[in-house]
Chains A and B, each alone.
Chain A
């Protein structure tokens, strides 16, 4: 499955709720304010393990728009909108943690 998270982990608990339920094969795509969780910050440990497994993506346009390109946490994979489409196609059911 593909889980999309669109809110900062400093603002809402959607990333935490997603991490509670995600299974071993699914991936997370951070979009919109969700990309704030892709930056090197005090919440970065939340996704560090998953990112090390190559299972955390962030939408490049949103990362750049928020000025955090140079501050990304380790192992975050950037995708553009075409990459977002590919993730939806490849990973089956999409779950939005809106």
Chain B
């Protein structure tokens, strides 16, 4: 089955991203397809490649990256809402250069895109599950 996920909260503050990750991992292990994970609101903070938890804690960003959720063209399907990301200082290379900012922090396993991607995930997937506060 094709399953998509929406994550509304950032890492470490709420359990939402942890639960969503365990769910996604279990779904993949059972042979289902994770069509897309859409990070919205503070959820965009799950995509920061500068995340540095202490050694004895999980690295939530890397965990997501290691699931390797991609489409047939090899593009990441860990999708960060562009409007929510820019508001919170989460930028990829292209948005940084477009806005004249000297750095970018989106992990390469994620990509930035618009809200249409969330709707499309709802249309294309058999199920959409929301994790939030």
Contacts and interface: CB of A to CB of B under 8 A. Distances in A.
A31 interface: yes
A10 B3 CA distance: 32
Contacts of A96: 129-132
B127 interface: yes
A48 interface: no
Contacts, number: 53
Given A89-B1, A94-B129, A96-B132, A32 B15 contact: yes
Interface range for B: 20 to 34
Contacts of B25: 81
Residue with the highest number of chain A CB atoms closer than 10 Å, among B1, B15, B16, B129: B129
B1 to A, nearest CB: 5
Interface of A: 4, 6, 31-33, 59, 61, 80-82, 84-86, 88-89, 92-94, 96, 98
Given A84-B26, A98-B8, 16 more contacts: A6-B19, A32-B15, A32-B16, A32-B19, A33-B15, A59-B19, A80-B26, A82-B26, A85-B32, A86-B30, A88-B3, A88-B129, A89-B1, A94-B128, A96-B131, A98-B132
